[in-house]
Amino acid sequence: MISICVGAFALAQAGILDGRPAATHWRFADELAEQYPAIDVRADVLYVDDGDVLTSAGVSSGLDLCLHVVRTDLGVEEARRFAQELVAAPHREGNQAQFIARPLQTSGVGPIGELCTWAKEHLREQIALEDMAARCAMSPRTLTRHFREATGTTPLQWLLTMRIDEARQLLEATDLSIDEVAERAGFGTGLNLRTHFRRRLDTTPTTYRRNFRAPANATRREAV
């Protein structure tokens, strides 16, 4: 069950959110918390995935949540395809702050967009903040400011997200070893990949592959 923006109030009135964490638009978070004290209202996140009940902040955050569901059910590549069709960020973590939520530039237009395009084509290489700044003819500090304005995150956090995305896609679609996945996605070693998977996804690459790699000609979840 999913609610978007103030749709959380409907779930709250039905008692579905009692004892659960939930998100809604930041303007109405205090009102939701006051009217329904049994809910753990998260006023500063894009969306909350609490298993069988998911809630989002504003309308654009609802799109992030829907892409999160596609990503979970059908995999990284399908989520990327949908995001490309919608001209939306391929993935934003739910715990990002609402106030900086902005679409991710990946079209190659402008210095930030061109940088994103280049970086995605060179994920397996070692890329430092200074390298990214030099490509945009900016100082690292100036790049970080412009990058955050354009995407809502920092260059290195964005790069980490792209590498995790790449690793997830490889785990879902190939038989590569964990070390090979780590090398292709730019993590260098399997240990480094496991560390970031644990921090970002609270799982291991092996467990992720077991849970999300679909058999050939099969979908991950039956339609209901």
pLDDT in tens, 70-102: 888 888 778 878 877 776 655 555 554 444 434
Nearest-angstrom CA–CA distance, 52 and 200: 20
Mean pLDDT of the chain, nearest integer: 84
Residue 220 has pLDDT above 60, yes or no: no
Residue 219 has pLDDT above 60, yes or no: no
Nearest-angstrom CA–CA distance, 128 and 50: 35
Q: What is the pLDDT of residue 103?
A: 43
| Residues 4-16, mean pLDDT to the nearest whole number | 95
Residue 202 has pLDDT above 80, yes or no: no
Say which amino acid occupies 184: R
Global confidence as pTM = 0.59
pLDDT in tens, 143-167: 999 998 888 789 999 999 899 989 9
pLDDT in tens, 34-77: 999 999 999 878 899 999 999 998 888 888 899 889 888 888 77
H helix runs in the chain, sequence order: 8-13, 29-35, 59-74, 76-86, 110-121, 129-135, 140-151, 155-173, 178-185, 190-201, 205-212
Burial class (CB in 10 A: 0-12, 13-18, 19+), 137: exposed
Query: In the chain, what are the domains?
Result: 2-73 (3.40.50.880), 104-224 (1.10.10.60)
Q: What is the pLDDT of residue 102?
A: 42
Residue 6 has pLDDT above 70, yes or no: yes
| Residues 123-136, mean pLDDT to the nearest whole number | 94
Tell the residue number behind the tokens 């496991």, with chain if given. 194
> Where residue 136 falls among pLDDT bands split at 50, 70, 90?
very high
Q: What is the pLDDT of residue 2?
A: 95
Burial class (CB in 10 A: 0-12, 13-18, 19+), 52: exposed
